Structure formats: structure tokens, C-alpha cells
Amino acid sequence: MTAKSPSVLVAAIGESHQLLHVLGPARELHKLGVRTHLLVSTHWHEQIIAAHAPELSGLIIRTPLVYTDRPLHVCPPRAPNIFLSRNIFAAFDGVLTPERTSTMLKTLLGKRCPKLIHIPHGTGDRAKSFARRISAFDLILTAGDKYRDEFIARGIGTPENCHVVGYTKFDVLGDAPPRFFGNDNPIVLYNPHFDDPLSSWPLMGEALVRGFGELSGFNVIIAPHVRMRGKSRRLFDHLAATAGRPNLRFDGGSIHSINMDYTRAADIYVGDISSQVYEFLQTPKPCVFADAHVRDWHNDVHYKHWYYGEVGRTAEEVIAFVRTAIADHARFRGAQTAGFNATISGDHPEASVNAARLIRDYLNA
């Protein structure tokens, strides 16, 4: 008798940028004959599926709470949506998700809970990347040894349930990104984080925008993490409306800011704590970091990526380092390559295929 094929629900119930981390494995699971559906909570999720994996568009289930007219960075509240969707989850053998609120299903469903499978949405170094609730997942798939080793060392995962597959987001990218400027000047991407206590934006943002506008010979894309909110988002909206220059492009949350169009188009990265630095370093290129909070970062494991470029403590220093970043890049190339290889394994080029096979085999065991 042939074994029954397992079923997997891919849960896209968080902000839409997270979906790109599980869309490749969803596509490969479908190819393997695993009964696969995608639970989505916004129309942006549906558009991303249509653009990057159109063969899955007929497998979409909408959550009871669904947004169809909100910005890309907004999603319905997760916990109520999970509660209202609990019977949908219970109908599957496994749930694949890039977010963590869904671990509440263990309590909600008890013995009816499917196996919970996690692919982190990003590969950054900040402390929240290693949250304890990740230990509630039955299977954890990481991009590289850095995450796997940290999860195991912190007791979040085990050698048996935590596996390196590669960076699944790379598998669903489009062709070359579009041209964002009408000249060939180097492009700087400024990508501040959304979390104000970690971000350079609240303290440096306005001065950096002013400095970027006066940066002759460079184009600059100012694209913060899509979850920027509150006073920081209001400041961004104000500057986007009032500080326009021909060499500046403001993006508060479009598809370009989440599908790696900007990280692939840019020649220089300026940021603070966002994991997008690792996506940018798929090809080693110059980086500059903004230390707005004057941290003792050399001894902080959560700032490993600040060894990949110069670190400025004022907006003026950051701008000065941008001017020399291309000429100075050779000094940082070795650290960038080593850091990237630890974070995103080059030994697993077919990340989504690896993930799908592991999920199928795990659910069949």
C-alpha cells in the first residue's frame, strides 16, 4: 500500500515581506506531490504569490481576518487570526511559517496540533532572532551554520530538529532589478531598522537625508524596513514629501523594498541592524554602518555585521565613509565573505528543494 502523501499549510499571516522566505519551499512541496495550501491574510500576499509562484495561486486560503486595502507593511492582528483559523490549521499534517506567533497553536489545539515547521524570515544578528519561543517548533530550517549553531547552543533547537538548508528567498527572485535612476552613478541604499532603540533613523535620519541630498556623484535609495511605524514613519513620510532631490528615491514600503530589488541594485549599503545587509552581501560590496546610539559593539555578538564596513557615530562620519566606501572595500571583503558564508550556506544552493524534501520526509517519518 502506498503511503498517504502529507499535507502542509504554508501560513502567511504576518507582514507580507515574510512570505518570500517560505514561498520557494511551498512551490517545491507542491512539485513533490505534497498537498500544499497557502493561508494568507492580505491581498499583498496574493500579489506576491501571483508574481513569484503563480502555479500556487489556486491553492490560496484567506484567513477570517483579511486586509485588502492596506499598505504592504500592515497585516491583521496575528493572534486573533490564528484563533479564528484554528480548525483550518488542524486539518493539515504540518504548518510551515516564517513567523512565531503561530506557536500558540500548541496550546490552542493540543493533540490536534499539526507539526510546526519554521524558516526564519531573515538572517540578522539582533537578539530577537534567537527568541525562546522558537523552541516550540518541531522542525527548524536555517540558512546557514550561524543560526543552527546558535539555536542549538541556546537550547532553542537540537541537532535532530534543526537543519541547514540555505537561503530560500534567493530561489524566488525575479531577473535583474529595474533601473531606478537615469544615470550610472553609484547607488547607495540606506536601510534603517524599524525598532527605534536599535535604529539609526530617529537620531540620524533627518541629517543623513540632508547629507545624501548633497552627495554629489551618488544616487541614494532611502528604504527603511517596511515595519517602521509611529514617529519614525511620520518623519519618513514628512521627509519623503519635503526633502526630494533628483538623486534621492524614498520608498516607505513597496514590493521593491522586500524582493531584493534594492539590495541587488545598490553598490553601497548603509544601515544599522537590519538583516538585509546579508541579502546585500550575496555579492560582496561596500557597507557603512550608522552607530547612532554609540554602542560598545565590538564585544556584542549581535553586531557581528558591523565588522563588514566602517562604522560612523555621526551623520557626518557616515556620509564621509560613504564617499570612500568603494575605494576602501578591499579591507572588508574578507570579513564580508566569511560572515556571509557562516550566515548563508553556499553548500546548499537549492535551498527550497532542500527544505521541501526535509519537510516531506519529516512528515512521512
By the 8 A CB rule, do 95 and 117 touch?
yes
Cell of 246: 533628483
Superfamily of domain 7-167+345-364: Glycogen Phosphorylase B; (3.40.50.2000)
Q: Nearest 5°: phi and psi at 35?
A: -65, 110
Arch. (CATH architecture) of 187-343: 3-Layer(aba) Sandwich (3.40)
One digit per residue, pLDDT tens: the chain, 365 residues? Answer: 345 789 999 999 999 999 999 999 999 999 999 999 999 999 999 999 999 999 999 999 999 999 999 999 899 999 999 999 999 999 999 999 999 999 999 999 999 999 999 999 988 887 777 888 999 999 999 999 999 999 999 999 999 999 999 999 999 998 899 999 999 999 999 999 999 999 999 999 999 999 999 999 999 999 999 999 999 999 999 999 999 999 999 999 999 999 999 999 999 999 999 999 999 999 999 999 999 999 999 989 889 999 999 999 999 999 999 999 999 999 999 999 999 999 998 877 799 999 999 999 999 98
Tally helices (H) and strands (E) across the chain.
13, 13
Contact 126, 297 (CB under 8 A): no
CA nearest neighbour of 269 among 311, 304, 241, 313: 311
Q: What is the pLDDT of residues 110-158, one digit of tens each?
A: 999 999 999 999 888 877 778 889 999 999 999 999 999 999 999 999 9
332: how many CB neighbours lie within 10 A of its CB? 19
Equal fold, 7-167+345-364 vs 187-343 = yes
Q: Give pTM, 2 decimals.
A: 0.94
CA–CA distance, 172 with 288 (Å, rounded to integer): 28
pLDDT digits (tens, 9 = 90+) for 44-60: 999 999 999 999 999 99
Q: Which residues contact 231 (CB under 8 A, 6 or more apart)?
A: 196, 202
Query: What contacts 136, CB < 8 A, 6 or more positions away?
Result: 103, 106, 116
| Domain range summary for the chain, segments of one domain joined by + | 7-167+345-364, 187-343
Cα separation, 251 vs 234, whole angstroms: 13
